Amino acid sequence: MDEAGTPDSSRIWRRTDWEQGPPREHSKEQFREALLSWVVDRDMLLEPARMAERSAFARRSAVPDVFLAELGATYAAQARAITGEAPAVSDDPRAELLDVLSDLGVLC
């Protein structure tokens, strides 16, 4: 979830923010903070030694639709600001992502 299918590793700054001084990042940190606010035990996601616990949590916990919709709207707005057009929205993004991961050999 950290890298596949999301632009959370990119850095996106608005030009107007950049021109006014230290810019507010509109990408990775926003995603990270949104995810951390959804999880009760933030340390589970922050401590590398807890990877097994994190993996078990991910397998048994579905991210709420509202979380994904709000986050998706943020990235859609960024894409629209960059390209001038609304991004195409898939009918089944989960299936498409799983197909890509499977093709890459990430999923068995």
Which of 47 and 31 is assigned the larger pLDDT? 47
Q: Give me the residue label for tokens 């709420």.
A: 64
Is the predicted pLDDT of residue 7 greater than 60, yes or no?
no
Domain that holds residue 44: 15-103
Q: Is 108 inside any structural domain?
A: no
Examine residue 6 and state whether it is found in any structural domain, yes or no.
no
pTM for the structure as a whole? 0.50
Would 88 be classed as within a structural domain? yes
Range of lowest pLDDT (8-12, 28-32, 99-103): 8-12
pLDDT at 34: 78
How many Å apart are CA 83 and CA 20, to the nearest integer? 23
Whether residue 20 lies inside any domain: the answer is yes
Q: How confident is the model at residue 72 (pLDDT cuts 50, 70, 90)?
A: confident
